[in-house]
């Protein structure tokens, strides 16, 4: 996405004029500030509410009161509660049943003292009546071809009646800008008569995995897990990768694929591998040669230190993630995801607090994103265990994780029972113990 006007001053205060891969490392918080100041929301367009998933670009306002009219919460008999004040076990009040009201019918206008209406669930409660007695709690008397209710207790006003505006009042905010249209939310929106909503367009994303060793048919081979992982995570968040490329560690080939991704009108390009300082790590230099503005390269984090962010002259944002699988997961979860949230009109993701259950030591320089298992204890408090096997190539501990524990740069050790921050393992989900 295009940069805001002051992005140059932000990056210049951090970087020298050296080529991208020699720039000074920055902190995670500095990287997030650059993301916040360089990404703009996607354009918004009107969409039929029944089309489903989307993130709304404006507040949804109730057009009228819901319910629009007082209606019965159950099958029974509509009565005027004031006519039951004297009812008791010793004194029976009789109310004549003068008609039946079905849901969807206009209510009758005639009423008289000491009368009642048989009424169905959802039917309009007529003027002059304010309560409904359930069918199973009534006693019916037939006399001279007329039907009466026999009442032996006072009925409270508003009993079993859904009042107009009890759920929503006109001009209430149904859903705030930046909220996701989920199936359960659609019910409230449709109930308020809203048929079209303005939602942010979904970013078009291209994935480019690099590495001659991945799925190599000519020598030692490693499975390409990064491409399918990224595509699955994006799909789970409602974003479809419209192209998933793979390219060997060949400079010209990498440039060719990046040019293809640009031609596909991608809003974002996510690359994996080739961003460190090895002889075959060509992504930073290729980006620079293509005129991309490298906003940052190398962040004080683990795993994923060599991560970079760049913007092409044509406006596409590039996130270059290191190639180790867990580094890819961290880059997606803590950098790319934050950019997606901004593109969809949302704030940076909030974090939760959890009690750390075992001491853990790390390098003080780095913000560390640790694979963790988080649960709720008997007192309803979140507890987290930082798992062993934190190396960025190890996938077995990843299978046991349901969350990330975040240990900031200024901490070298986390004590047992110390409070730390955690987030769910994947974008757009909650922690499932």
The answer to whether residues 357 and 416 touch, using CB atoms and an 8 Å cutoff, is yes
pLDDT of residue 403: 96
CATH number at residue 134: 2.170.190.11
Domain identity same for 329 and 241:
yes
The HSE-up count of residue 339 (CA atoms within 13 Å, CB side) is: 29
pLDDT of residue 112: 78
pLDDT of residue 23: 64
Angstrom distance (rounded) from CA 408 to CA 370? 11
pTM over 0.85: no
Look at the block and give the residue holding tokens 């590495």. Answer: 211
CB-count burial class (<10 Å; 0-12, 13-18, 19+) for 187: exposed
CATH number at residue 402: 2.40.340.10
CA pseudo-torsion sign 94, 98, 103, 105: negative
In 5-132, alpha helices (H) = 7-12, 28-38
Total domain count, the chain: 4
User: Which residue, 343, 365, 380, sits at the end of a domain?
Assistant: 343
DSSP output for 203-240: PPEEEEEE-TTBT-SSSS-B---HHHHHHHHHHHTT--
Angstrom distance (rounded) from CA 287 to CA 193? 49
Tell me whether residue 431 is in a domain.
no
Task: Give the angle 43-47-52 at the CA atoms, nearest 5°.
Answer: 110
Compute φ and ψ for 81, nearest 5 degrees: -60, -30
pLDDT of residue 18: 33
pLDDT of residue 67: 94
Domain identity same for 247 and 324:
yes
Contacts of residue 388, Cβ cutoff 8 Å, sequence gap at least 6: 397
User: Which residue, 316, 343, 370, sits at the end of a domain?
Assistant: 343
Contacts of residue 329, Cβ cutoff 8 Å, sequence gap at least 6: 229, 398
CA pseudo-torsion sign 306, 309, 312, 313: negative
> Cα 324 vs. chain centroid, distance in angstroms?
27
Domain identity same for 87 and 120:
yes
Identify the segments of the chain with pLDDT beneath 70: 1-23, 52, 432-433
pLDDT of residue 393: 85
**Among the listed residues 214, 225, 205, the one whose alpha carbon sits nearest the alpha carbon of residue 280:** 214
- 61: tokens are 């306002």
Domain identity same for 194 and 255:
no
Element (H, E) at 257: helix 251-263
In this structure, what DSSP letter does residue 49 have? G
CATH number at residue 62: 3.90.105
Angstrom distance (rounded) from CA 249 to CA 273? 9
CATH number at residue 211: 3.40.980.10
The SS3 call for residue 409 is: coil
Domain identity same for 187 and 222:
no
Look at the block and give the residue holding tokens 């955690």. Answer: 422
The SS3 call for residue 269 is: strand
User: Which residue, 141, 162, 183, sits at the end of a domain?
Assistant: 162
pLDDT of residue 277: 86
Angstrom distance (rounded) from CA 132 to CA 146? 20
pLDDT of residue 21: 41
Domain identity same for 195 and 206:
no
Angstrom distance (rounded) from CA 71 to CA 74? 9
Domain that holds residue 384: 352-424
pLDDT digits over 192-221, tens only?
A: 989 899 999 999 999 999 998 888 777 788
């Amino acid at each position: 996405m295009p940069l805001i006007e002051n992005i140059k001053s932000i990056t210049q205060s951090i970087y020298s004029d050296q080529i991208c891969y020699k720039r000074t490392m920055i902190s995670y918080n500095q990287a997030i500030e650059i993301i916040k100041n360089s990404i703009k929301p996607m354009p918004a367009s009107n969409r039929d509410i029944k089309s489903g998933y989307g993130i709304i670009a404006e507040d949804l306002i109730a057009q009228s009161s819901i319910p629009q009219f007082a209606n019965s919460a159950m099958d029974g008999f509509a009565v005027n509660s004031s006519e039951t004040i004297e009812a008791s076990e010793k004194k029976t009040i009789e109310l004549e049943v003068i008609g039946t009201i079905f849901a969807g019918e206009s209510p009758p206008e005639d009423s008289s003292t000491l009368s009642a209406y048989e009424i169905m669930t959802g039917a309009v409660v007529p003027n002059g009546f304010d309560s409904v007695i359930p069918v199973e709690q009534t006693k019916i008397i037939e006399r001279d071809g007329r039907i009466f209710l026999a009442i032996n207790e006072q009925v409270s006003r508003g009993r079993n009646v859904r009042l107009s505006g009890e759920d929503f009042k006109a001009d209430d905010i149904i859903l705030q800008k930046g909220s996701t249209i989920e199936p359960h939310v659609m019910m409230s929106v449709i109930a308020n008569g809203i048929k079209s909503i303005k939602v942010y367009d979904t970013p078009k994303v291209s994935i480019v995995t690099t590495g001659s060793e991945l799925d190599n048919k000519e020598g030692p081979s490693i499975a390409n897990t990064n491409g399918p992982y990224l595509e699955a995570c994006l799909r789970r968040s409602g974003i479809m990768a419209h192209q998933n490329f793979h390219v060997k560690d060949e400079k010209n080939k990498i440039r060719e694929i990046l040019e293809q991704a640009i031609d596909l009108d991608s809003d974002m390009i996510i690359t994996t591998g080739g961003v460190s300082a090895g002889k075959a790590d060509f992504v930073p230099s290729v980006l620079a040669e293509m005129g991309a503005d490298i906003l940052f390269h190398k962040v004080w984090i683990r795993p994923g230190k060599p991560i970079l962010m760049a913007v092409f002259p044509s406006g596409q944002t590039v996130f270059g993630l290191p190639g180790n699988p867990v580094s890819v997961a961290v880059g997606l979860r803590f950098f790319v995801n934050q950019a997606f949230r901004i593109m969809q009109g949302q704030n940076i993701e909030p974090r939760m607090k959890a009690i750390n259950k075992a001491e853990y030591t790390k390098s003080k320089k780095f913000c560390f994103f640790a694979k963790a298992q988080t649960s709720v204890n008997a007192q309803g408090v979140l507890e987290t265990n930082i798992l062993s096997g934190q190396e960025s190539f190890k996938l077995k501990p990843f299978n046991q994780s349901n969350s990330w524990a975040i240990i900031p740069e200024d901490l070298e050790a986390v004590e047992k029972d110390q409070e730390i921050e955690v987030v769910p393992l994947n974008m757009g989900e909650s922690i499932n113990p």
